[in-house]
Chains A and B, each alone.
Chain A
């Protein structure tokens, strides 16, 4: 007997033990059943999703064949050109060097930064892929503005990759225009972005 509270624990002992046992059994049963149920429910959901995916793919296999027929050659071509997959920096440098020699530009300097993620201003659906850019700064000495377009034409023809130019500045060198070979009447600085498409999960695209 607890003199302070007036409770005789001998009277309540049996019921307390029974309650504790029932609580233990009950909570174990509930927890076990809940876990069992939620595990199987999750498994069912997963299996259903897999089934829906595979059945849909099976239904879409003709469509896939059509897509491959239509787009796979282009995909391979873009891959070979360095637009999809790995960028081809060496090829760009070779193209620049050759174009400088071919066009006989008075000056041509370049610097290429490390590759980074590209977020275009315009809308482009690239889910599953990430767009990358390598920024290339070109400093040119031009006899006249037309030399720049000759250079771009040469790059388009011989360099593998997709690029866009975001900024250019042209400065006239001196008051007089001298149409002499090797004289730079105009200085131009342009910022090129070489863009490549890679998988979002970081895997390499290999063909």
Chain B
């Protein structure tokens, strides 16, 4: 019955399973066109054949298109709320409208124009699970990826959007070979209601009178539901082959408030499927072609029924990721490997050049004496030794400086002298000391030439001393001034006089001070060039 349908790649292939109350057909989509189709009965033999078909065919994704009278449509409103509240409201409405149905769908159709401006919703359901369950079980058993479940009415809603000049109150009449006559009403291209009625076997009787009878019935029903405003005519779009359309045109049935539009399926098929000859009035191919080409979004299938489709997508995603990863790693490693080879070549060239220059350098260097360090380092060491010699310090300069001053003041006798050297002339001075005691350069231009400073703190006394402190202080000042007049001086400061006469000091003693020592201390800083 079924040819071996397995192909090497089923990535772009897909299938449609068209279920009616009497038959079941499968359509294949192969290389962007509608391919083979298979018809099955709904009895045990048909079920066995379908099972065999599933075993032998490739496991491409399948969309179920259902066309049964057990599909119901109810329009209702809910308050305009969002998120979980909205979901809860919809669920409650669904359970109230379709108590035991598993295949439910709700379509948002805008808001009411008056009052609370509630949301208008179309609640749909396939009220009899047995229509789908046995076939879904088989699909799950064979791990067929189910991409969705739709009805002909929902598919027509998608299809009419592709048709131009459809009026705001349109009744679309289609004939399906395995299900019958479907009349679907659209208000402003939104699905409102749909009705399926059985047709006699094709060729046994004319379909025209039956179509008009059914259209008349539904018009009256639509009027009763007030889906068509008063004084507004209903546009009826009948999709059929040329022969049936001719029959319909010749039929003299009078249908008031109704405009009839005949659309030839051959023309539609030519513009979509592409020149496929059609001699029957049925829209099966047209609808299936639209379904498989546009891959209309799932409506009825719950997530658990679509798990193999999700797993298939995961599988392809993983395969794609694997390939991408492999390509990336090959390209990346290839580039790196090529770069590495270039580096290696350059490295070899560099090594050769190094050897070339090394040989010449060794030859030239052979003429020079062997040294413990590189010539540049030799120069550095000699210069460092020279700098150390430049900064070599001894107390010679300071003693010469003090001695020169003492020669002019024979009454001043030196007791102690603390000497040190520093590049900081203020070394040893407290930062908080008064301004008078902070050393200042005597000659700014001279300072630049000074390498370091010699600092001494000396203690001396005046001998002989007759108790005349005024004279003693004057002598110390003169001595300090004399030192200040020397060229190398940086700073001279008297730390203490023979008698502390400052206002901050406590002064006491004997008026007869003869015989007491007149001791003073002095800080001298000289610069050394």
Residues of A participating in the B interface, judged by any CB pair closer than 8 Å:
6-8, 11-12, 14-16, 18-19, 21-23, 25-27, 29-30, 32-34, 36-37, 39-41, 43-44, 47-48, 50-51, 54-55, 57-58, 61, 63-65, 67-68, 70-72, 74-75, 78, 83-84, 120-122, 124-129, 131, 145, 148-149, 152, 162-172, 190, 195, 197, 199, 205-207
* Contact residues of A: prevailing secondary structure: helix
B419 at the interface (CB under 8 A from A): yes
Closest to A9 in B: B311
Tell me how far the C-beta of A19 lies from the nearest C-beta in chain B, rounded to whole angstroms.
Answer: 5
* A15, B319: Cα distance in complex, Å: 6
Whether the Cβ atoms of A50 and B354 lie closer than 8 Å is yes
Tell me how far the C-beta of A21 lies from the nearest C-beta in chain B, rounded to whole angstroms.
Answer: 8
B349-386 with Cβ < 8 A to chain A = 350-351, 353-354, 357-358, 360-361, 364-365, 367-369, 371-385
* A145, B413: Cα distance in complex, Å: 14
The interface residues of chain A lying within 8 Å CB-to-CB of B395 are 148, 165, 168, 190
Whether the Cβ atoms of B361 and A58 lie closer than 8 Å is yes
Whether the Cβ atoms of B385 and A33 lie closer than 8 Å is no
Q: What bracket does the count of chain B residues touching chain A fall in?
A: 35 or more
* A26, B325: Cα distance in complex, Å: 6
Q: Which of B321, B350, B421 is most buried by chain A, counting CB atoms within 10 A of its CB? A: B350
Cross-chain pairs A/B with CB under 8 angstroms, 11 sampled:
A7-B311, A12-B314, A15-B322, A23-B325, A26-B328, A58-B361, A75-B371, A122-B387, A125-B383, A166-B393, A197-B381
One digit per residue, 1 when the CB lies within 8 angstroms of any chain A CB and 0 when it does not, for chain B 329-358 equals 110111111011101101100110110011
Whether the Cβ atoms of B322 and A18 lie closer than 8 Å is yes
Whether the Cβ atoms of B382 and A26 lie closer than 8 Å is no
Whether the Cβ atoms of B388 and A6 lie closer than 8 Å is no
Residues of B participating in the A interface, judged by any CB pair closer than 8 Å:
143, 304, 307-308, 311-312, 314-316, 318-319, 321-323, 325-326, 328-330, 332-337, 339-341, 343-344, 346-347, 350-351, 353-354, 357-358, 360-361, 364-365, 367-369, 371-385, 387-389, 391-396, 399, 403, 413-424, 451-452
Q: How many residue pairs, one in A and one in B, have C-beta atoms under 8 Å apart?
A: 243
By Cβ-Cβ distance, the 5 closest A-B pairs, closest first, are A26-B329, A33-B333, A33-B336, A22-B322, A40-B343
The interface residues of chain B lying within 8 Å CB-to-CB of A44 are 343-344, 346-347, 350
The interface residues of chain B lying within 8 Å CB-to-CB of A58 are 357, 360-361, 364
* A195, B371: Cα distance in complex, Å: 22
Contact of B372 among A7, A61, A71, A207 (CB under 8 A): A207
